[in-house]
Structure 1
Amino acid sequence: MDLDVFIDRHRASWQRLEQLVKRSGRLSGAEADELIELYQRVTTHLSVVRSQTPDPATVERLSSLVAQARSKLTGTHTPAWQIFTKFFTHRLPAAIYLGWRWWVPAGIAFYLLSGIMAAWIASNPDVQATIAAPDELREMTKVGGGYESYYSSDPAGSFAAKVWTNNAWVSATCLLLGVLFAIPPIYLLFTNAVSLAVGLGLMFGAGRGPEFLGLLAPHGLLELTAVFVAAGIGMRLGWQVIDPGKRTRTAALAAEGRSVVAVALGLVVVLLVSGVLEGFVTPSGLPTWARVGIGAVAEILFLLYVFVIGRRAARQGETGDVDASEREDVAPTSV
């Protein structure tokens, strides 16, 4: 093959591809089609030159041109740090914020149920007797007893890791199994409300309620809020099975499911903070007001994150779903 003749024959195609590659702004539909056609043609030219007359200068020129055309066609890669930042500043807080009509009522119902049951248990010795034998009740509620010693039963780091794993599992169960008509999240909320009510009722019945609250509040405020979020978002997912609205049930579940994944990843971080508080702050020698204050600050920061940053992101159009370019293609439907 005569290289000079080959270059002269295809120079116009190469120059036109270079023009399209260097064009600023968006290409028209015809120009985009032309870019694809020329990219494929010049790729073939590069292969021919490499195999028959591998002139270094020509190979370098065509390789660079093909690489630039490929970049123009596929777009630039978004840096990982930008994806990470956008997730925590837009996608995650918006997903949690948009589900507040589910998880806030769930939290209110949880506290009401726990409070009513705890008051009933605390004021009825007969009910307390059905929970455990008198000796066991005294052992659980005494100073340094079962409820109090639980938080220092293991080294702080190990205890924090165990708590984190358990809470992450409960939250993941609420989120992922919510698709079963929202029944699993409701059941898990109910069983946890009963468990909390038993502890509160027994400790208040023994006259040590404030001490028990002082142990719960440092980590419990944020921990329970994370569970409420998981349950609420899980119930919203389950509702899509019952009433998907104008979308098909498959499309509704796909969109909500992607938001659920975002919330699940975010709650891992929230529950890690809660686990650290439970492992290091709750059993610490700090005065009660300091421990409760730390827990309250963590809770307030989380709520501000959701209702300020999340609300702003939602108003900007963020839904917690992935970017449009990463979603499945959909066919138009009539309304």
Structure 2
Amino acid sequence: MDVDVFVVAHEAQWQRLRVLAAQRRLTGGEADELVRLYRQTATHLSLLRSRAPEPGLIDELSVLLVKAKARIASPRNLSWPAVGAFFAQTIPAALYRVRWWSVVVAVACLLIAVVAGVWLVANPELLNSVVPPARQQEIAEEAFASYYSTYPSGSFASLVWTNNSFIAALCVATGITGIYPATVLFENSLSVGVMGAVMHVQNADEVFWTLILPHGLLELSCVFVAGAAGMRLFWAWLVPGARTRATSLAQEGRTTIVVVLAVTIALGVSGIVEGFVTGSQLNPWVKIALGVLAFAAFWVVTFVAGRRAVEAGVDPGLSEEEARNEVAVAA
């Protein structure tokens, strides 16, 4: 395909589509023309992608189609089936896309926490320099447990959810730096290790585990996934592969936004558990069982529902227009 000839042949149609997409009011005839030109331009974009890849022209037409699509579509087109599909397919697919990053981050963070805890227990002088003995005793006897019961359950759950969601969103938003997510993950892992060491030295292991496990399993999973998504975004910019950096960031960015929403929802569940279950008078094994159930549900959605969604062709990294063109080219 001769791209120059192709551009000359269709430039007038693209220009007309630009005008109509930017026009505030459309007559019935102009609305029909807008839809017709939108479909024709989508076909042109598909042809260019398959036969004569020109990154500059492809990006230009992609932006034009997004604007035209926004002009054609109406917020009233949002339907309950579409909302259901987003929660049942798009969210699991996004989590599935970052699954191995999440697993690697989780293993690394848990390793840091365990090594830090074991090292501090084996070196009491170092632990005492980090947390004074008097403070260790206070934490084990009162502070650690009272943290979960000082405030009203509803207020505490809301506070925890807001704080954790903000940190998760910040991990993703600053993921392009590659530094902040790694720093947050390291500091969080170190804190868990230090607290575990303090509680072990003070013979309060039972208190530690029965209070940390009910909400901590899901909460830490969310932190790991958020950090992994942020670092994956950095990797998409650093190593875009066959894509341009702009395209790579755009596609991975869309996936990451969905991951943020998924993590926010999961942190809401974790906040409810922390506010109403962790500090409650329920049997410790019941509390842990509820935490394990929430934790298992999160990872089942990630690996099982996510795999099914991806196998069905769901890709949260592609816009609707890009997804349709990908199918058209493959055919």
Say yes or no: does 1:267 pair with 2:263.
yes
Which of residues 164, 167, 174 in structure 2 aligns to 1:167? 164
TM-superposed deviation, 1:69: 5.5
Say yes or no: does 1:310 pair with 2:309.
no
Partner of 2:116: 117
Which of residues 263, 268, 279 in structure 2 aligns to 1:283? 279
The Cα offsets for residues 132-186 of structure 1, whole Å up to 9 and x where unpaired, read as 33222211111xx111111112111111111001110111111111111x22111
What is the Cα-based RMSD across aligned positions, in Å? 2.7
Q: Structure 2 regions of 5+ residues with no counterpart?
A: 1-12, 21-26, 37-71, 327-331
Partner of 1:4: none
Q: Distance in 1 between matches of 2:293 and 2:34?
A: 47
TM-superposed deviation, 1:310: 0.5
Q: Percent identity?
A: 35
Q: Cα distance 1:232–1:68, how it changes in 2: closer, same or farther (>3 A)? A: closer
Partner of 1:157: 154
Which of residues 198, 209, 234 in structure 2 aligns to 1:238? 234
Q: Distance in 2 between matches of 1:80 and 1:174?
A: 32
State whether residues 101 and 229 of structure 2, in contact with CA within 8 Å, keep that contact through their aligned partners in structure 1: yes
Partner of 2:139: 140
TM-superposed deviation, 1:70: 8.4
Q: Cα distance 1:234–1:312, how it changes in 2: closer, same or farther (>3 A)? A: same
TM-superposed deviation, 1:327: 8.2
TM-superposed deviation, 1:324: 2.4
Say yes or no: does 1:87 pair with 2:86.
yes
Using structure 1 for the length normalisation, give the TM-score: 0.74
Q: Distance in 2 between matches of 1:251 and 1:315?
A: 23
Alignment of 1:70-85 (within 5 A): 74=72, 78-85=77-84
- Letter aligned with residue 147 of structure 1: F
Q: Distance in 2 between matches of 1:129 and 1:329?
A: 62
**2:280 aligned counterpart, secondary structure:** coil
TM-superposed deviation, 1:67: 11
Q: Cα distance 1:245–1:105, how it changes in 2: closer, same or farther (>3 A)? A: same
- Letter aligned with residue 171 of structure 2: C
State whether residues 99 and 302 of structure 2, in contact with CA within 8 Å, keep that contact through their aligned partners in structure 1: no
Q: Structure 1 regions of 5+ residues with no counterpart?
A: 1-32, 41-46, 48-62, 331-335
Say yes or no: does 1:225 pair with 2:221.
yes
Q: Distance in 2 between matches of 1:256 and 1:132?
A: 41
Partner of 1:104: 103
User: Which of these two proteins has the greater Rg computed from alpha carbons?
Assistant: 1
Q: Cα distance 1:257–1:328, how it changes in 2: closer, same or farther (>3 A)? A: farther
TM-superposed deviation, 1:301: 0.9
Q: Cα distance 1:94–1:327, how it changes in 2: closer, same or farther (>3 A)? A: closer
Partner of 2:315: 319
Partner of 2:41: none
TM-superposed deviation, 1:72: 7.5
Partner of 1:189: 185
Partner of 2:289: 293
State whether residues 95 and 263 of structure 1, in contact with CA within 8 Å, keep that contact through their aligned partners in structure 2: yes
Partner of 2:129: 130
Q: Distance in 2 between matches of 1:75 and 1:251?
A: 24
Using structure 2 for the length normalisation, give the TM-score: 0.75
TM-superposed deviation, 1:128: 2.1
The Cα offsets for residues 11-61 of structure 1, whole Å up to 9 and x where unpaired, read as xxxxxxxxxxxxxxxxxxxxxx9xx9xxx9xxxxxx9xxxxxxxxxxxxxx
Partner of 1:204: 200
- Letter aligned with residue 239 of structure 1: W
The Cα offsets for residues 278-320 of structure 1, whole Å up to 9 and x where unpaired, read as 0000000011100000000001111111111100111122222
Q: Distance in 1 between matches of 2:319 and 2:236?
A: 21
Q: Distance in 2 between matches of 1:325 and 1:139?
A: 59
Q: Distance in 2 between matches of 1:70 and 1:210?
A: 70
Q: Cα distance 1:70–1:158, how it changes in 2: closer, same or farther (>3 A)? A: farther
- Letter aligned with residue 140 of structure 2: T
- Letter aligned with residue 159 of structure 1: F
- Letter aligned with residue 223 of structure 1: E
Paired residues in the alignment total 267
The Cα offsets for residues 215-257 of structure 1, whole Å up to 9 and x where unpaired, read as 0000000000011111111111000121100000011001111
